């Protein structure tokens, strides 16, 4: 995959995994998301087409932001917590050693993720956006390290849980697309 496509997809997916679908950040990106099939040479294009159709059918669903809240902000037990430390730390601590290691990695590469929200850096969408920043800065070694050592070691477990969620077809489809994207790396 070329650099521009990889950056664009990481930013686009990262935004939808971090911000509610009707937020001022993601709402203007909805059309791009629906045409994500055109942004890369997907190895399984029919699967991506299918997911784009599911996403398109969910647009206008008044419950999308609520579904986001249940899946990403938590109201009770979260079916698919979006933080790496949940999957990597034996006691599922969000601010455990794996998150601290990832935070040090970000600092080593001069990345400060200031979103105005108080949450661990190892949130799936934030990690995709950090990956995009590293690529934009031509720091390919650090970008590869982020993917290999900090994201891929837990993302398959997370995306599997998200694909199996009973709350949102939108996020099930998004999880399939993200999984396909990560398989291209």
**Domains identified in the chain, total number:** 1
Cβ neighbours of residue 58 under 8 Å, at least 6 residues apart? 64, 168, 169, 170, 173
45-62 per-position pLDDT tens digit = 999 999 999 999 998 888
- Between residues 90 and 171, which one has the greater pLDDT? 171
Q: What is the pLDDT of residue 116?
A: 64
> Mean pLDDT throughout 96-103?
88
5-33 per-position pLDDT tens digit = 999 999 999 999 999 998 999 989 999 99
3-state secondary structure of 127: helix
Cβ neighbours of residue 166 under 8 Å, at least 6 residues apart? 79
Q: Report pTM.
A: 0.94
pLDDT at 142 over 70: yes
Domain containing residue 118: 3-183
User: Looking at residue 53, which CATH number applies to its domain?
Assistant: 1.10.3480.10
């Amino acid at each position: 995959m070329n650099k521009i496509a990889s950056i664009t997809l990481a930013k686009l997916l990262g935004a939808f995994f971090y911000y509610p679908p009707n937020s001022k950040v993601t709402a203007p990106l909805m059309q791009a998301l629906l045409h994500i099939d055109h942004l890369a040479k997907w190895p399984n294009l029919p699967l991506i087409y299918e997911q784009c159709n599911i996403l398109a059918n969910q647009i206008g669903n008044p419950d999308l932001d609520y579904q986001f809240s249940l899946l990403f902000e938590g109201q009770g037990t979260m079916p698919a917590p979006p933080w790496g430390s949940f999957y990597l730390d034996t006691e599922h601590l969000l601010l455990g050693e794996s998150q601290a290691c990832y935070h040090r990695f970000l600092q080593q590469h001069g990345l400060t993720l200031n979103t105005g929200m108080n949450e661990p850096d190892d949130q799936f969408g934030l990690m995709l956006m950090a990956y995009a920043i590293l690529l934009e800065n031509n720091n390919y070694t650090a970008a590869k390290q982020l993917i290999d050592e900090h994201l891929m070691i837990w993302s398959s477990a997370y995306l599997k849980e998200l694909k199996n969620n009973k709350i949102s077809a939108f996020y099930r489809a998004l999880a399939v697309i993200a999984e396909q994207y990560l398989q291209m790396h």
